[in-house]
Amino acid sequence: MLIRRERPADHAAIRAVTVAAFEGSAYGHSGEADIVEALRAAAALTVSLVAEADGDVIGHAAFSPVRIETAEGDWHGLGPLSVAPVWQGRGVGQGLVREGLKALEALGAAGCVVVGDPAYYGRFGFQNDPALRYGEASPYLQRLVLRGRPPSGEVRYHAAFDA
């Protein structure tokens, strides 16, 4: 498996993987592929990685800027994270998250937030912080401080997430 930055030629494959990954998922709302495309169109993808096997895109991770009331430095949100169903449970998502966090760190980011399963994202150092809020999803909102102090307040993702 190779993890690399997305290229324009990957866009259709990223959409297909994202749709397949969230199709029928209790966690997705079937608009994740549209979110990725809207972030891309707005030049709001700070880091966009694909996992490739035998020349095929099998996974994708998007990282985009977020605003947090008291944040010092640049904070980013992880998501959507998509892995083709036949590749799920085989370390593809973990590889994408780890490489994405390394890329954020190299950019000097202060931290990253994610809305998701605490058991899954906890392995990367994410933790729930009651000082952060994100509507009804607050119990699933987690943060990872890369430098500086933990922020507090309401987390605001890019408008692409509101569609």
| 29: pLDDT strictly greater than 70 | no
| 100: pLDDT strictly greater than 80 | yes
Name the residue ranges covered by the structural domains of the chain: 2-162
Q: How far apart are CA 21 and CA 16, in angstroms?
A: 8
Tens digits of residue pLDDT in 109-149? 999 999 999 999 999 999 999 999 998 888 899 999 999 99
For residue 117, give the 3-state DSSP assignment.
coil
Assign domain 2-162 one CATH number from 3.40.228.10, 3.10.450.50, 3.30.56.10, 3.40.630.30: 3.40.630.30
The pair phi, psi for residue 55, each rounded to 5°, is: 85, 0
Write down the mean pLDDT value for the chain.
Answer: 95
Structure tokens at 63: 């990282």
Instruction: Tell me the pTM.
Output: 0.95
